[in-house]
Amino acid sequence: MEWRVRGVAAGTLLLVSFPDVVEAEHRVAGMSAAGRWAAVARAAGGRDPAFLIGGVTSGWGRATLDDFERAGVSGMALQIDATAVDTFLASQPLGPLLLADGRYLPDAEALGALLAEPRIAATSDGAPVIASGTTTMSLPTLTATHSASAVAVPVTDLACPADAVRRLVRATAKPSDGVVSRWINRPISQRISAPLLIHVPGVRPSHVTLMVGAVGVVMVAALLFGGWTGLIVGGVLFQVASVLDGVDGEIARASYRASVAGATLDTRVDVGTNLGYFVGIAVSLTRLYGARQALVGGIVVLFASVGMLLLSWLARRAGQPGSLDVLKHYYRRRFPTGWQRRVTETLVAMTSRDFFAFLFGVVIVAGAGWTVSWLLAGFSTIWLFLILAAIPGLLHGSVPKSAGIETLASAE
């Protein structure tokens, strides 16, 4: 975003108003309102906000301080009593000021634009939520400021927790989602994430990651010992694991609990679930269809294991041990446009777990389970070839250090 490059947003003082500390510390989707404002201000390229609190009688609670730490606030966020705000403003360097109603949280892009070009903002219904001025103005002057031409900004109403949580969870969708994830997995996972965040305040991403692992264990047991019924149950449970794998990421992003440790645990569980599926499918189809399936299944397990080891090695070299997305980023950077880009996107989609988990689930339920090992062999061969072809470029060039799309070995 342009304002981040110019550093303009950081020159604007953001003053966020709450009627009292209780409202400022009101928790929505596992994070306090004040903590969310601090996180969004940081994402927008601004400085840490100051909080205008009516009748300040105590400091921040422990949970809110933890929120500030996750948001990247340097030190303790400043509380200002409403009666002393004019004195505070007089002590600040001359510059632009935004006074925001803490109830209405804009997204980072909208807030960044307002910080870069301070102006009055309103909700889509016309209710004023942000007033602009300078640090030389008094609070009564700021609060009385109104403009019929105020720009409308998208906001999350933090005073309506259920609606706010659903909006915050919807915002966790990733532009890199494939077709299956975008139209099937993500809508389902978000309908799981939102109720968890609303009704289970202490839920953590790791709780869901462990749930995915438990589903994976049941899936493997069904494939190994369940016969025809187990093959169907295992195929369905692999798709269930793929859907649930999106929930931990959504909870992490909505509650600002993403971490290297969490990403590493998520990746390890996903790798274990994938390998368990490959082994279970090989054993199940061998018992049901004969020895030829064992040979094909063995190739799948070998190619997948080698590919995952290579990607883990490349991820460690990139300094991102919790993410195995270096292959996708390499090819997207190498082929940013044209038909090569279209081919890259197709291959990424074909080797993403959300795609093949759904496809194989449908194939198995339709009664054509014997084809799964052959399809997996084709996908794993293409995937391993792409890894081997990319290694020289990755080792001799700069390895991209970002995360996003899921491949055979990575998380959602």
How buried is 345 (Cβ within 10 angstroms: 0-12 exposed, 13-18 middle, 19+ buried)?
middle
pLDDT for position 402: 41
Residue 2, pLDDT above cutoff 60 = no
Mean pLDDT value of segment 71-85: 83
**pLDDT band with cut points at 50, 70 and 90 for residue 6:** very low
The three-class DSSP label of residue 280 is helix
Greatest distance between any 2 Cα atoms in the chain: 83
Q: Which domains are delineated in the chain?
A: 2-158 (3.90.550), 168-396 (1.20.120.1760)
| Among 30-39, 143-152, 330-339, the least confident range | 143-152
| Model confidence pLDDT, tens digit, residues 163-185 | 999 999 999 988 777 788 889 99
Mean pLDDT value of segment 296-310: 93
pLDDT for position 4: 43
The three-class DSSP label of residue 332 is helix
What is the C-alpha to C-alpha distance for residues 67 and 41, in angstroms, rounded to an integer? 13
Name the pairing type of β-strands 50-53 and 13-18: parallel
| Model confidence pLDDT, tens digit, residues 353-364 | 889 899 999 999
397 CB neighbour count, 10 Å cutoff: 12
pLDDT for position 412: 46
What is the C-alpha to C-alpha distance for residues 22 and 393, in angstroms, rounded to an integer? 54
**pLDDT band with cut points at 50, 70 and 90 for residue 57:** low
101 CB neighbour count, 10 Å cutoff: 19
Mean pLDDT value of segment 261-288: 92
**pLDDT band with cut points at 50, 70 and 90 for residue 5:** very low
The three-class DSSP label of residue 104 is strand
What is the C-alpha to C-alpha distance for residues 282 and 289, in angstroms, rounded to an integer? 10
What is the C-alpha to C-alpha distance for residues 282 and 300, in angstroms, rounded to an integer? 8
The conformational region for residue 140 under phi > 0 = left, psi -120 to 50 = alpha, else beta, is alpha
What is the C-alpha to C-alpha distance for residues 214 and 231, in angstroms, rounded to an integer? 18
Mean pLDDT value of segment 377-392: 90
Residue 320, pLDDT above cutoff 70 = no
Mean pLDDT value of segment 236-258: 94
What is the pTM (predicted TM-score) of this model?
Answer: 0.86
Q: Which range has the top average pLDDT, 36-45, 74-83, 133-142, 321-330?
A: 36-45
What is the C-alpha to C-alpha distance for residues 203 and 146, in angstroms, rounded to an integer? 41
Instruction: Return the higher-pLDDT residue of 51 and 7.
Output: 51
What is the C-alpha to C-alpha distance for residues 140 and 163, in angstroms, rounded to an integer? 32
The 3 state secondary structure assigned to 125-178 is: CCCEEEEEEECCCCHHHHHHCCCCCCEECCEEECCCHHHHHHHHHHCCCCCCCC
